[in-house]
Amino acid sequence: MTSKKLVNSVAGCADDALAGLVACNPNLQLLQGHRVALRSDLDSLKGQVALLSGGGSGHEPAHAGFIGKGMLTGVIAGAVFTSPAVGSILAAIRAVAQVGTVGTLLIVKNYTGDRLNFGLAREQARAEGIPVEMVVIGDDSAFTVLKKAGKRGLCGTVLIHKVAGALAEAGAGLEEITDRVSEVAKAMGTLGVSLSSCSVPGSKPTFELSADEVELGLGIHGEAGVHRIKMATADEIVALMLDHMTSSSNVSHVPVRSGSSVVLMVNNLGGLSFLELGIIAEAAVRSLEGRGVKIARALVGTFMSALDMPGISLTLLLVDEPLLKLIDAETTASAWPNVAKVSVTGRKRCRAAPAKPLEAPDSTAAGGAASKQMVLVLERVCATLLGLEERLNALDRAAGDGDCGTTHSCAARAIQGWLKEGPPPASPAQLLSKLALLLLEKMGGSSGALYGLFLTAAAQPLKAKTDLPAWSAAMDAGLEAMQKYGKAAPGDRTMLDSLWAAGQELQAWKSPGANLQILSKAVKSAEAAAEATRNMEAGAGRASYISSARLDQPDPGAVAAAAILRAVLEVLQSQDA
């Protein structure tokens, strides 16, 4: 079965892709009649060496993404995984020669078709009197025994583009650039690994891997690698890659050893997630530094892909300070990353977390009457939530993942464990703040965040006073925070419905002569509101995504909130009795 691709046609996909890049980049132009992209400021290059590269399409952003001041002058693109036509290569050479460049360097990856077609165009151009040189890049470190065809050209070619571009921009001559990049290429190696094959538009995947296999040492055209290994962790695969790349028993190894300074490229072969790419990059840095290798620069991203291949390649380039200056030189190429011009190794990567602000001393002694009452309230709340676990989970299954009871039980057990460590603060503000932090850490999910928000905000009015009007203000503050960040409103079938109903009753605490009896009305209103959620249409939370949008059971969060308020009331009533 062929893979699905977002293309207009298989035959025209390479032309459309290059046209799309040029359409979005004013610094590029197409060469009429050819699949060639050139710098739009070509006329400004009089007296400089021009740099041309290219190859088959399907390796984006290579090579056209690296056209720009300080990198390539132009690119000749073939069809997907197919060498470009000789006529187009020759047309590009003529185009840059006509603006007065003093020579052209062709940077070619080591594949038979590319060598032949670029080589033939070079000979034809030289016959016309145009000075043209060609360097063939082979940076593949996969083969332990060198084959007649030589090492394949891989992602390291992009670094050659950068070095050559910096030299050309600085005014170096054709012979100097050719000699310099030829030497640089000898100190570089690349190795790829993939979780599966890629698929060319209109075709099936180029090879098959079982679920527990990984392909090591593969190229960038969907061809199989040199080894098929068992799936392993990112750390293990990176270590294996670096071992293979740097082993002196491997004829194509990079002579990297302890004390070496390198540029590291972590290249996405096209289909790897950014999450995996970051994990691989960290593993590569850690593994290299563990071997005593200094990482002078690290480039992480997609530089030379193999269509949609879910894999990566690692490139190591041995560098000294003069070479680093060329790597660091400015470029306008859109695909070259904004790399910091400082060493990766030796940099402090972690900043100390800020110290927690000092808490105001608790005005009421811990372990006193108020503190003991707090313990009784919290113990009753915990017992209530643990007893409701199964019911809350059952209610939650209708709307989501059925874990509301489990989440509240986690919170209850966390509070119980906290109480065993010592008496809680007697100050209501400090107590609510401590509970907020505990629930944010231990409860998890949106419930933990909502309770944390509510308690954090509710604590603020209680810092100055703890009378009944202050408790009413605390309820108001908590509800306001929940609405602001949770985006729920009364009537949306959430835990807010119960708390809102209670909060409305507690407004009476702000009037003179108010007493604790108002809390009893508040709890009854909360319970009635929780029951009423069974007839509400979900307007927020996970239940709002249910296709029916109407559920015949009360919201579990609202039920839990009402039960918490009931537990608080029962303890306070027993204390007054």
Does residue 221 have an active-site annotation? yes
The reply, when asked if residue 57 is annotated as ligand binding, is yes
Is 59 annotated as belonging to a binding site? yes
Asked if 502 contacts 526 with a C-beta cutoff of 8 angstroms, the reply is yes
Q: Which residues pair with 213 in a beta bridge?
A: 230
| Among candidate residues 320, 326, 256, the one with its CA nearest the CA of residue 284 | 256
34 labeled binding residue: no
Compute how many other C-beta atoms are within 10 angstroms of the C-beta atom of residue 259.
9
Cα within 13 Å of Cα(112), Cβ side: 2
Q: Are 144 and 216 in contact (CB under 8 A)?
A: no
> Taking the CB of residue 120, how many other CB atoms lie within 10 A of it?
14
Encoding tokens for residue 494? 């959430």
Q: State both tokens at 263.
A: 């540029």
* 277 Cβ neighbours under 8 A, 6+ residues apart: 266, 268, 300, 301, 312
Does 53 belong to an annotated binding site? no
For 132, 170, 267, 458, the CA distances from 326, given in Å and listed in that order, are 22, 10, 20, 58
Instruction: Specify the residue for token string 């009871």.
Output: 405
* Closest C-alpha to 306, from 190, 400, 188, 422: 190
| C-alpha dist (Å) from residue 490 to 483, 497, 562 | 9, 5, 14
With beta carbons less than 8 A apart as the criterion, state whether 252 and 151 touch: yes
- Report how far residue 164's alpha carbon sits from residue 49's, in angstroms, rounded to the nearest whole number: 10
**Whole-angstrom distance, CA of residue 497 vs CA of residue 389:** 20
- The active-site residue, picked from 161, 221, 244, 253, is 221
Residue 200 CB-density burial (10 A; 0-12 exposed, 13-18 middle, 19+ buried): buried
Cα atoms in the 13 Å half-sphere on the side-chain side of 187 = 17
Nearest one of 427, 421, 452, 424 to 438, comparing CA atoms: 452
Q: Which residues are annotated as a binding site for substrate?
A: 56-59, 109, 114
Q: Give binding residues as ranges.
A: 56-59, 109, 114
For the annotated catalytic residues, the residue numbers are 221
